[in-house]
A and B are shown apart, each in its own frame.
Chain A
Amino acid sequence: MADPIVELRAVEKTFTRGRQPVKVLDGLDLTVEAGSFEALMGPSGSGKSTLLNLIAGLDRPTAGTLRVAGEDLGRLSEGGLADWRARNIGFVFQAFNLIPVLTAAQNVELPLVLSPLSTAQRKQHVATALRIVGLADRMDHLPRQLSGGQEQRVAIARAIATDPKIIVADEPTGDLDRHSAEEILGLFAKLNDELGKTIFMVTHDPLAAERAKVVRRMDKGKLLVA
């Protein structure tokens, strides 16, 4: 059995809507092994994205402990958390979220700006990432000059450019047609199988979930027993 890369113990998350506290995650325990490819499914409002945000270090739990990639995230400051995300997490969003005024290569280079790499090394990383996603010939294209599937592949190249341990994906195929969605899921499988990346994906799409090695389900802030 591989080492755990994500460990959540008794994690709670409560939001306040108006004056009403709303418990979105309710005493959650979760262990994700390094190198796994997991899909998290569940109805809207079940807490999937909140859980994803906690694992990715974008948000903090109200209670409980959260250990990801060997770090107790509760102990990190806001700045420390940002540094940790830059080193350990690659993000893939439903709406791709590329910066529209930057080319594909510049978008992929963005997270590398925060690293100590030289300009030449950054260019090399960008070229490698774009080659992995099959877009080496589109590096100077702006996002609006690419198809939806190509945009998501650039977003994946951006996610892997810093060689993170974990890739978190929030509905990565939600805005794509079936063919493009298949390409993206194939790419995730490749990143998981060949590069050993841990992939944690939130999805509504059963076909997407089928490509994962582990499928978890959530409802009303709790993980359901498989």
Chain B
Amino acid sequence: MLFLLAAKGMLRNLFRSVLTLLGVAIAILAFTFLRTTIEAWYAGVDAASQDRLATRHKVSITLPMPRAYFEKVKDRVTGITAVTYANWVGAVDPKDERAFFANFAVDGETYFETYDEVVIPPGQLAEWRTDPTGCIVGEALAGQKGWKVGDRITLRGTIYPGDLQLTVRGIYGTKRKTFDKSTLFFHWKYLNEIADASRKDQIGFLGIRVADASQGPAIARAVDELFANSDTETLTESERAFNLSFLSMFSTVLKALDVVSVVILCIMGLILANTIAMGVRERTHEYGVLRAIGFQPRHLALLVGGEGLVMGIAGGVVGVAASLVVVNAFGKWLEDNFGQFFPYYSMSTTSVFLGLGLAAIIGLVASLVPAWSAARLEVVQALRRL
């Protein structure tokens, strides 16, 4: 009966209840959407290969290392099944300089053996290997730019001066959904040819595949010991840690998203509290009647709290359902256009339950003060209020 009364109380002012419910739903939608965005950003980290290590300059990921390190690691470190190297190039499409996409100069012989989740038709891979100015592009990037195999494209250097004249020799897909499908790879040798003297024979990082993932930490130590006390010391870490250090460049943005999602929930909590308090004020006389016929203060607190809980859960269900629709519709577009940031944009089960749980908690917390006010009403005073 109390539940019935709480439910009917909510429907009493249908317009206000619908607006409040929509408010909760939109807050939950915004929250789950932002959570999904953050999770998608970290998807590459979470899906990092267990048996791969990355070696970079000990001081910063942005500082280069000598290419000779590749040979030394390959020859001297045991327990390695593949090793490769690459450089972050940071070139842009002169036709649309603001449309960012990742591009790497990689070793043609070893890169795709180490990163074997990249799937390239064998014929295209062979073609690329024989073309010094050939490049491989992700299917999302190719679709976005309208590039096809055989197209000649020009990229303008930002870190490295000058233009890169490239020919598309292959289009890659991936075995893993979380791997970015909008990156461009071309030969490191080509980059090295056009680089000025200070940047020649330099690489950005080494990718190392180990035979036994449990030996990863020992192998990482062995690699770093090779270059200890040299001018360029290294830091070798798991691929997950490496990806994290790469993402740390965007940590302020991610933190801002986190804060915004919490602020949205707090604002909604306050609005909901105000709405429930309004309802309590309007029903003070009825609460007086209930108290008169024997209802205890705790019953009124339950009634008001129940109303807040029902409102929160209902808003949460609508919000999460709307999120699923929006994330599905928007996710594909994000993957195609911002694949380097969101290689796999999908709402996790954790986000669904987090959204629902937080909606229920907001409803309960928002009703705490109104419930307390209702519980401490003096019967005679309440009956006098109309």
Could you tell me if A82 and B9 are in contact, using CB atoms closer than 8 angstroms?
Answer: no
> Is B255 positioned at the interface, with any CB of A under 8 Å from its CB?
no
Question: Do A85 and B5 touch (CB < 8 A)?
Answer: no
> With A58-B380, A59-B380, A113-B1 in contact, is A97–B285 under 8 Å at CB?
yes
Closest to A84 in B: B294
Is the Cβ of B289 less than 8 Å from the Cβ of A82?
Answer: no
The contact sample of 19 A-B pairs, CB cut-off 8 A, is: A53-B380, A58-B379, A58-B383, A59-B380, A78-B297, A79-B296, A79-B297, A82-B295, A83-B294, A85-B293, A85-B294, A97-B285, A100-B12, A102-B4, A102-B5, A106-B4, A110-B290, A111-B293, A162-B294
Indicate which residue in A78, A93, A99 contacts B5 across the interface (CB closer than 8 Å).
A99
Instruction: Indicate if A195 sits at the interface (CB-CB under 8 A).
Output: no
A101–B9 touching, CB < 8 Å: yes
Residues on A with beta carbons closer than 8 Å to the beta carbon of B293: 85-86, 91, 110-111, 158
* A55 interface hit (Cβ, 8 Å): no
In the bound complex, residues from chain B placing their C-beta under 8 Å from that of A111 are 293-294
Which B residues lie within 8 Å of A100 (CB)?
12
- Distance of A87 Cα from B296 Cα, bound (Å): 13
Q: Please tell me if B286 contacts chain A, counting CB pairs below 8 Å.
A: yes
* Shortest Cβ gap from A96 to chain B (Å): 10
A171 vs B249: C-alpha distance when bound (angstroms):
75
Q: Given A82-B295, A114-B294, are A93 and B289 also a contact pair (CB < 8 Å)?
A: yes
The answer to whether B77 has its CB under 8 Å from any CB of chain A is no
In the complex, A38 has a CB within 8 A of chain B = no
B289, A99: Cβ atoms under 8 Å? yes
Q: How far is the CA of A86 from the CA of B4 in the complex (A)?
A: 20
Q: Which A residues touch B2, using CB under 8 A?
A: 113
> A53-89: which have CB < 8 Å to B?
53, 56, 58-59, 78-79, 82-83, 85-87
Which chain B residues border A53 with CB–CB below 8 Å?
A: 380
- Asked if B59 is at the interface (CB within 8 A of a chain A CB), the reply is no
Complex Cα distance A53/B295, Å? 16
A12 within 8 A of B: no
- Interface of B with A (CB < 8 Å)? 1-2, 4-5, 8-9, 11-12, 285-286, 289-297, 379-380, 383
Question: How far apart are the CA atoms of A113 and B289 in the complex, in Å?
Answer: 14
A57 to B287, CA, bound (A): 16
Across the interface, which residues of A come within 8 angstroms of B291, CB to CB? 82
Q: How far is the CB of A53 from chain B (nearest CB, A)?
A: 5
- Count of interface residues, chain A, beta-carbon cutoff 8 Å: 26
Chain A nearest CB from B137 CB (Å) reads 63
Contact B1 A101, beta carbon cutoff 8 Å: no
Measured between beta carbons, the chain A residues less than 8 angstroms from B285 are: 97
- For the complex with contacts A97-B286, A99-B289, A101-B8, 12 further pairs of A-B residues with Cβ separation under 8 Å are A58-B383, A79-B296, A86-B295, A91-B289, A91-B292, A93-B289, A93-B383, A99-B5, A101-B5, A102-B4, A106-B4, A110-B293
Question: What residues of B have a CB within 8 angstroms of the CB of A163 in the complex?
Answer: none
- Are B11 and A101 touching (Cβ within 8 A)? yes
Point out residues on A near B: beta carbons under 8 Å.
Answer: 53, 56, 58-59, 78-79, 82-83, 85-87, 91, 93, 97, 99-102, 106, 109-111, 113-114, 158, 162
Question: What residue in chain A is nearest B2 (Cβ atoms)?
Answer: A113
Contact of B296 among A59, A82, A158, A162 (CB under 8 A): A82
Instruction: Determine whether the beta carbon of B1 is less than 8 Å from that of A106.
Output: yes
> CA–CA, A10 to B8, complex, Å?
45
B289 near A109: Cβ-Cβ < 8 Å: no
Knowing A78-B297, A102-B8, say if A85 contacts B289 (CB, 8 Å): no
Interface hub of A59, A86, A99, A106 (most chain B Cβ within 10 A): A99
CB neighbours (8 Å) of A99 from chain B are 5, 286, 289
CA distance A97 to B139 in the complex (A): 70
Q: What is the chain A residue whose CB lies nearest that of B288? A: A97
CB distance from A92 to the nearest CB of B (A): 11
CA–CA, A97 to B385, complex, Å? 12
Q: Looking across the interface, which residue of chain A has its beta carbon closest to that of B291?
A: A82
Do A56 and B5 have beta carbons less than 8 Å apart?
no
CB distance from B102 to the nearest CB of A (A): 59
Closest to A114 in B: B294
Q: Report which residue of B12, B293, B379 has the largest number of chain A beta carbons within 10 angstroms of its beta carbon.
A: B293
Distance in angstroms between the alpha carbons of A45 and B1 in the assembled complex? 38
Contact partners of A114 in chain B: CB under 8 A:
294-295
Instruction: Give Cα A99–Cα B2 distance, bound, in whole angstroms.
Output: 12
CA distance A213 to B383 in the complex (A): 28
A113 CB contacts on chain B under 8 angstroms: 1-2
- Return chain B residues, CB-CB under 8 Å to A91: 289, 292-293
